[in-house]
Structure 1
Amino acid sequence: MVNGTAGAAAAVSGEKAGQAPVPLSVLDLATVGSGQTAADALRATTETARLAAARGYHRFWVAEHHSVAGVASSSPAVLLAHLAASTDRIRLGSGGVMLPNHTPLVVAEQFGTLEALAPGRIDLGLGRAPGTNGLTAAALRGNDRVREAADRFPQSLTELVRFLDDDFPDGHPYAGVHAVPGPVQGSTGRPPIWLLGSSGFSAELAGRLGLPFSFAHHFAARGTMAALETYRAAFRPSAVLDRPYAMVSVLVLAADDEREARRQLLTSALAVVRLSRGQTEPLATPEEAEAYPFTGRERLIADDWLAHAVHGTPDAVRAGLEELAARTGADELMLTANVHGAQARLRSYGLVADAFAMPGGAASASVPPAVLS
């Protein structure tokens, strides 16, 4: 049984001056900016993963989105295979695979393959939302039963775990079906499963199943505390965790001064404004975002988005992340920087690493062992 207190112990040992209070990780969307291509975005994601590994970030996850012009991470499994070949040691995972879009067997085969390619480095984060609009979700499923697929999430999760463990009971319709590669082929084991959420549903389910839980604070900040409380109250020890393990994802941008950090993040805020109108354009440049004529309502949306981001100078970001970790009791923070171009993101992750005196590489002894590895 993996000791679920490993993350907390690492946090305590890391509370020396300047060091992060909890492990820090990275969530990347393969953001496509104005004037850029999806190929540019994927190269930037690869570069960001290499930097994260070199600077001692704990994990690097990629998200699943579809039919969104500003996001190139539509196929996490494919992208993770490339990142596994481009890095070493840092954990890689999905943040997450949207299970209603796929059959459990396909996900088990994909992540069994990833685990075989990069043993002990793969996380399988699962979400219940489609990560797109209803029409695209229906196209992904090959039918229009989108709501039904979401409602079946607990059952699909059970099937996925059984495929990964190759342990359908005798008499089950799938007892003779095997996910290859899988444990029956002698791999090192299955990837640890995380549940992701922006509400109480996945929080409660993760708790009941004794799984680690990641909350999307970066776009659902008002529900963070309630979801974490639900998760911890529902938690039951399992074969993989003996205590709750909660990760909180947060929008972060560090720059040399406050104005530049806010200027970069305005591109992300404009993307949210456009999304509220059903538009999914590539992210605007900072200059385009500054010139955009926000209406009163749009300004409120943008200001609300920025209010829940941690941004500013490295010292300000360090203080903001320390406060968030203390307020939420998070065992880990996952940083995301959905802004135009790779340069600002790379600069930000480097400044955050400097602010917390993070090691020069993922092999450093001060990086905690992988939770659930």
Structure 2
Amino acid sequence: MLTSDSREIPSIAEGASIAEAIKKMLENDSFVLQVINNAEEPVGWLHGLDILRTFVKEPGMNRIMESGIRVFIKPIAEDDYLEEEAGLSAICLWAEKREHNPPYFLTRKGKSGIFTTYGLLRVALEERDRERELRKESKVQLATLRHSQEELEMALGNLIVDPEVVARLKSIPEYRDEYDSATGKIKITGIIKEGVYRHVINILRLLTELFMKGLKAVDGISREILVQTSIYHDVGKVQPHLEVGDMVDPKEAFEPGQYHAFRSASLARKVYQLERSIVYLIQYHHHPDGELPSDFPRGLLPMHRLFRLLDGLSAGITRRGSRISLAVRGAIVQVREESAHPIYNRCLELDLHSGRVEVKPLEQRVETNY
């Protein structure tokens, strides 16, 4: 498609002399002239090389033809160079700067040539075709990724066999918010429908990844117990009704996490009749090690520590869109968390047996296993 900055070709009457044509070419720095009739309608075009061939054939030109070319040589200048790997935009910029110069070019590697518009068009078309292929490939990969994710979520969702539990979890929303350090309040920026259900699914995804990376070999870790804990840990949660734009004090709007942990544990024991170890993990999943009661079973500590970690990571995924990378080294779980909110960016290392936790900024990785 021609643009407004396309250069207009000079015109000459079809009855003009060769001298007039040469003068017109020199005045316009153009090798090509458009030939028009008396009605100024285009009837053809004229190329300077054809005129040059005519002069070469004339006998009277012999003396001039035997003269040296030194006087006509133009020294190579900096703007004669065109980078061999230059992109389309760089080539166009180079051509625009040389608008009134011959289309000769030289590369730093010694390659030379004549720049042509059809060559530029070919490069543009090749780049367009490559871009189309990349877009097509990206769409296929994205569709495959979405399909795989949907299959995974369906498989994880099938672990929750009780439809009443699924309905309960889907009925509890989560909220996205922004914290104002000056007032201590948060502004609600988004409502996540089926938020707690999404939160549970994300925990199960993280748990599945850890077991694939060797967590099953760690003493004191039971996959079945952790799966059931994940499913039922927030079944007793109650959320306030908030709208986007609301400014609230989180301490007033939301109940302490330990409250819904105790309610969920009560439901797990009385309604769903889950085993005692699962009830313990649910009841104390908002208690750090130092706040656990003295009768908390020490054999559950590795799973208690792990579940608290996964609960927090899933909250980051669900509410903040965090990207999580996991690694397992013996009884040590390594985490790399990247969030849209830089305050949550971190590298973390948790020893499930000792409870030791080491947290560093992202640029200071705990290990190189991410």
TM range (shorter): under 0.3
TM-score (norm 1): 0.21
CA radius of gyration, larger in: 2
TM-score (norm 2): 0.21
Q: Name which structure has the greater RCO, CA cutoff 8 Å, separation 6+.
A: 1
